[in-house]
Amino acid sequence: MNPSEVFEIIEKHTRFMRDSIPLIASENLTSLSVRRCYLSDLGHRYAEGKVGHRFYEGCSFVDEIEERAVDLTKKIFEAEHANVQPISGVVANIAAFFALTDVGDTIMSISVPCGGHISHDTVSAAGLRGLRVIHYPFDNEEMNINVDETRNVALREKPKLFILGSSLILFRQPVKEIKEIADEIGAYVMYDASHVLGLIAGKAFQNPLKEGADVMTGSTHKTFFGPQRAIIASKKELAEKVDRAVFPGVVSNHHLNTLAGYVVAAMEILEFGQDYAKQVVKNARALAEELYNLGYKVLGEKKGFTETHQVAVDVRDFGGGEKVAKTLENAGIVLNKNLLPWDSLESTDNPSGIRIGVQEVTRIGMGEEEMKIIAEIIDAAIKEKKSAEELRKEVRELKERFNIIKYSFDQSEAYIFPELK
Ligand code: DSN
């Protein structure tokens, strides 16, 4: 046994990412200041409980960090209450289910093919909580919830909780309208903002809390600049329920090194988030338009393709999502195959679509010009206009020009992969 084997594999992975165009919609890079936090001693320590009320000694400096995390979260999202302890998006969601529902309750969520996250469904967190899940009627053209039909179903089925927010999310969702329905039947509204958290923070997308959601959950590492963890923001009357569901409910210690990283990321978002979020949406639209002009079936055509970091493309004409995503990976473009609204859950291995996210390439400074080049590389790969080797070279040449993490306090030395220097 030799640990260097592991480091060699990590180095190969890092080189692969350095030489690729990363377009997975749920990922992002962290700044070097954030990384410095998660390599710190905090990663060895424990802090159960709340600020000022811990079950271990040695937590006074952790308290200083967690207090900042809570205050920044409330400020950024204009929230009455914030819990920053969930260690992932699914953990935040299951905590929210414990806070807002009882076993056997019915909840309403967006189905997985229409973009909903697995944790909103019986296969994952909602099922583990013993909830009955029904799905919103969905308009495939609009790529959004059909509010009128939802009202009919909701008045009949009386869900206790409406979940909004999704993993394939192109447009703002009808939070106000769903809140009105929820108020009629005495239900809560929760918005899973994992994908759009950085866009909300940068004021480029709807703030669900301001539109009436009772609770907003969200992972902190997709369009937000943080390490991998999550938050729950809520109305103040739900504070105690949320906090108890998190601890002692579903979290004991909560990974203090990434908590510190989250604080730095929140500071970066406050300082640079608006410029960043605006550019993300511009880039996503530019990429969508370019692909559309090249003849691709880009979803959301009628509504300008996207209001987020995501672009969804129906690639059935080219062999389906599995084949296309693999072809693109060979060409140096990393993204994922994705179910589209008409797909069944049996087609997860070869769904109709691909999902593209531009938040990471925006973080390294790419703009609309580069989106055009990326669309051309995608097109050349899918239509086999050039060999995978030629395309990988083009990808490397493009990527070499963008190797600094932007929108951070780190200055010119912020090379994205310092370990390869
Ligand atoms: N399934 C992840 C995604 O949207 O990529 C989120 O957990």
Find the CATH number of the domain harbouring 287: 3.90.1150.10
Task: Flag whether 17 is in a domain.
Answer: no
Tell me: the pLDDT tens digits for 123-149? 999 999 999 999 999 999 999 999 999
Question: Domain check: are 241 and 384 in the same one?
Answer: no
> What's the gap in Å between 145 CA and the centre of ligand 1?
20
3-state secondary structure of 341: coil
Rounded to 10°, the helix 175-185/147-157 angle is: 20
Question: Domain check: are 369 and 294 in the same one?
Answer: yes
Region 57-64: mean pLDDT is: 97
> What's the gap in Å between 230 CA and the centre of ligand 1?
13
Task: Flag whether 26 is in a domain.
Answer: no
Give the model's confidence band at 193: pLDDT under 50 very low, under 70 low, under 90 confident, else very high. Answer: very high
Is the minimum distance from the CB of 26 to ligand 1 under 6 angstroms? yes
Question: Domain check: are 278 and 257 in the same one?
Answer: no
List phi, psi (to 5°) of 190. -120, 140
Tell me: the pLDDT tens digits for 110-123? 999 999 999 999 99
> What's the gap in Å between 114 CA and the centre of ligand 1?
14
- Please tell me the distance from the alpha carbon of residue 113 to that of residue 286, in angstroms, as a whole number: 25
Instruction: Yes or no: say if 66 and 58 are a contact pair by the CB < 8 Å rule.
Output: no
How much is the pLDDT for 347?
A: 87
Instruction: Yes or no: say if 343 and 335 are a contact pair by the CB < 8 Å rule.
Output: no
Rounded to 10°, the helix 368-382/388-400 angle is: 170
Across the strands, what pairs with 338?
353
Question: Domain check: are 305 and 235 in the same one?
Answer: no
Region 65-85: mean pLDDT is: 98
For a pocket test of ligand 1, which of 167, 339, 348 has the largest count of ligand atoms closer than 8 A to its C-beta?
167
Task: Flag whether 14 is in a domain.
Answer: no
**Number of domains within the chain:** 2
3-state secondary structure of 178: helix
Question: Domain check: are 72 and 188 in the same one?
Answer: yes
CA-nearest residue, atom 3 of ligand 1: 26
Q: Which of 206, 239, 266 is the last residue of a domain?
A: 266
Region 78-88: mean pLDDT is: 98
Across the chain, mean pLDDT equals 97
Maximum C-alpha span of the chain = 63
DSSP 30: P
Is the minimum distance from the CB of 223 to ligand 1 under 6 angstroms? no
3-state secondary structure of 285: helix
3-state secondary structure of 297: strand
Q: Which of 266, 287, 310 is the last residue of a domain?
A: 266
Task: Flag whether 200 is in a domain.
Answer: yes
Is the minimum distance from the CB of 89 to ligand 1 under 6 angstroms? yes
- Please tell me the distance from the alpha carbon of residue 262 to that of residue 269, in angstroms, as a whole number: 10
- Please tell me the distance from the alpha carbon of residue 163 to that of residue 101, in angstroms, as a whole number: 12
Instruction: Yes or no: say if 77 and 201 are a contact pair by the CB < 8 Å rule.
Output: yes
Question: Domain check: are 261 and 282 in the same one?
Answer: no
Instruction: Report whether pLDDT(412) > 70.
Output: no
- Please tell me the distance from the alpha carbon of residue 226 to that of residue 273, in angstroms, as a whole number: 12
Question: Domain check: are 120 and 72 in the same one?
Answer: yes
Task: Flag whether 338 is in a domain.
Answer: yes
Rounded to 10°, the helix 368-382/256-293 angle is: 70
Question: Domain check: are 182 and 50 in the same one?
Answer: yes
Ordered alpha helix ranges (H), 164-300: 175-185, 197-201, 239-244, 256-293
Place of tokens 């909602």: 126
3-state secondary structure of 50: strand
- Please tell me the distance from the alpha carbon of residue 305 to that of residue 312, in angstroms, as a whole number: 8
The whole domain housing 377 covers 272-420
> What's the gap in Å between 270 CA and the centre of ligand 1?
24
Give the model's confidence band at 413: pLDDT under 50 very low, under 70 low, under 90 confident, else very high. Answer: low
> What's the gap in Å between 319 CA and the centre of ligand 1?
23
How much is the pLDDT for 80?
A: 98
Question: Domain check: are 261 and 321 in the same one?
Answer: no
Structure tokens at 185: 């039947």
Task: Flag whether 10 is in a domain.
Answer: no
Place of tokens 């960043």: 276
Question: Domain check: are 283 and 241 in the same one?
Answer: no
Question: Domain check: are 237 and 114 in the same one?
Answer: yes
Region 43-64: mean pLDDT is: 96
Task: Flag whether 348 is in a domain.
Answer: yes
Is the minimum distance from the CB of 320 to ligand 1 under 6 angstroms? no
Instruction: Report whether pLDDT(421) > 90.
Output: no
Minimal CA–CA distance to 382: which of 420, 339, 327?
A: 327
Question: Domain check: are 151 and 174 in the same one?
Answer: yes
Instruction: Report whether pLDDT(276) > 90.
Output: yes
